[in-house]
């Protein structure tokens, strides 16, 4: 479980076309290093069980002034050393990773580094104003892995000049680079971004919700088959996100919508004689039926008879259904 500390836009001189950190996180100022302890204490006393990780999200952590990085990390390390958390994770840009940055992160016991790669297609990266190319992602990924950190690679779909094929190729390359974790973010057009200007000028068309969900399900399946953990699909919903979203595939529960679609695809392959007779542990029911029963309605709408009963392992028409 992550204890999220948002460090918005601190140290970031870049201007990615899609980015307005304020709208995305709902946080306008970086917290003082001392507040790391307060946030962690609140989480740890909240009765949530299981291992916790302090996670610095929201900006480009290794772009922050090193003294401030040390301030944040020193607070987090106290919790790591006392065994109250099991790891420290952070996200940053691929071009902000080099041997010196990694020395510092190693010194404070950082365990997981997530790189905002977004795409492995140079035309997409350039059109999105990322300010780095795919070679930077390859270089940083190799360094992160050589030094023994867990590598996470984050991607976006539906960026300017992007296509489903380019997104699938990006996923393939993430796997080849040794990513152990990933996050998938369908691009939303947020207010006060260059992408919003492009959209209003007719120079950018966002994905539809259907396109983003379908592609998300294909990507989820690909990563899952390769053993890459999908940590998140879609931004966390919030009033700021919803209110600031001008266009694009906004969904309050994008991750669930995508996993529902993935499961639907799995089930579709197992229809026999117009029927899906499913047995599964209760914990799978909501995923099988789909978000707000969308899968059940899809199959019934297509004339497929569906029954769902409780069983020990997921079986469809007597055959094993992959766990998800």
Q: Which residues bind ligand SF4 (CB under 6 A)?
A: 9, 12, 14-16, 19, 21, 59-60, 93, 116
Q: Which residues contact 58 (CB under 8 A, 6 or more apart)?
A: 6, 7, 8, 9, 21, 24, 25, 27, 91
Least distance in Å: CB of 193 to ligand SF4? 9
Q: Nearest approach, Cβ of 172 to ligand SF4 (angstroms)? A: 23
Q: Cβ of residue 11: shortest distance to ligand SF4, in angstroms?
A: 9
CB of 235 to ligand SF4, least distance (A): 12
d(CA 55, CA 84): 14
Q: Which is nearer to ligand SF4, 13 or 47 (CB)?
A: 13
Least distance between ligand SF4 and beta carbon 233 (Å):
18
The residues near 92 (Cβ < 8 Å, ≥ 6 apart) are 60, 61, 62, 63, 101, 113, 114, 115, 116
Q: Between residues 95 and 279, which has the closer beta carbon with respect to ligand SF4?
A: 95
Closest CA to 93 of 52, 29, 139: 139
Which lies closer to ligand SF4 via its Cβ, residue 151 or residue 195? 195
**Phi, psi of 299, rounded to the nearest 5 degrees:** -65, -45
**Closer Cβ to ligand SF4, 59 or 160, answer by number:** 59
CA distances from 5 to 51, 81, 90, 296 (A): 17, 19, 9, 38
Comparison of 93 and 261: residue with beta carbon closer to ligand SF4 = 93
């Amino acid at each position: 479980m992550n204890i999220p500390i948002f460090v918005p836009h601190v140290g970031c001189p870049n201007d990615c076309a899609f980015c307005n950190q304020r709208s995305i996180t709902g946080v306008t100022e970086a917290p003082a290093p001392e507040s790391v302890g307060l946030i962690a204490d609140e989480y740890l006393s909240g009765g949530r069980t299981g291992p916790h990780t302090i996670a610095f999200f929201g900006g480009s952590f290794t772009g922050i002034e090193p003294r401030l990085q040390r301030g944040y990390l020193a607070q987090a390390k106290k919790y790591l050393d006392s065994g109250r958390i099991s790891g420290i994770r952070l996200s940053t840009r691929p071009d902000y990773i080099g041997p010196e940055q990694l020395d510092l992160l190693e010194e404070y016991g950082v365990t997981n580094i997530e790189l905002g790669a977004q795409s492995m297609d140079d035309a997409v990266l350039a059109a999105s104003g990322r300010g780095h190319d795919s070679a930077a992602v390859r270089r940083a990924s190799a360094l992160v892995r050589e030094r023994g950190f867990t590598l996470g690679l984050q991607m976006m779909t539906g960026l300017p000049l992007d296509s489903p094929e380019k997104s699938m190729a990006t996923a393939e390359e993430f796997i080849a680079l040794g990513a152990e974790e990933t996050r998938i973010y369908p691009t939303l057009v947020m207010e006060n971004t260059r992408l919003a200007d492009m959209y209003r000028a007719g120079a950018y068309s966002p994905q539809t919700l259907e396109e983003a969900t379908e592609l998300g399900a294909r990507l989820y399946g690909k990563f899952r088959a390769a053993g890459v953990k999908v940590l998140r699909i879609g931004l966390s919903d919030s009033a700021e996100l919803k209110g600031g979203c001008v266009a694009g595939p906004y969904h309050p529960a994008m991750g669930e919508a995508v996993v529902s679609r993935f499961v639907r695809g799995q089930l579709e392959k197992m229809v026999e004689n117009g029927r899906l007779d499913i047995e599964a542990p209760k914990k799978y029911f909501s995923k099988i039926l789909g978000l707000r029963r969308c899968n059940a309605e899809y199959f019934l709408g297509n004339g497929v008879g569906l029954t769902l009963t409780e069983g020990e392992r997921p079986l469809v028409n007597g055959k094993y259904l992959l766990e998800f």
